[in-house]
Amino acid sequence: MPESLMSLQQKGNLPLFCLLLLTAFFFTSCGTARKAGRASAAKPREAGKSDPSASAEINHMLDFAREYIGIKYRYGGNTPREGFDCSGFACFVFNEFGVQLPRVSADMSKAGRYVGKNELEKGDLVFFATGSTRRINHVGIVIETRPNVLMIHSSSSKGIRLDDINSEYYRNRYVTSRRVDLDQ
Active site residues: 86, 138, 153
Rg value, the chain, Cα:
19
- Cα 79 to chain center, whole Å? 12
Q: How far is CA 135 from CA 9, 131, 140, 173, 176, in A?
A: 40, 7, 15, 10, 11
Q: Which one, of 77, 17, 59, lies nearest residue 144 by Cα?
A: 59
Enter the DSSP assignment of 37. Answer: P
Please report how many Cα atoms fall inside a 13 Å half-sphere around the Cα of residue 90, on the Cβ side: 34
Alpha helices in the chain (DSSP H): 3-10, 14-29, 52-66, 86-96, 105-108, 168-171
| Three-state secondary structure call for residue 27 | helix
Q: Which one, of 101, 68, 66, 86, lies nearest residue 173 by Cα?
A: 86
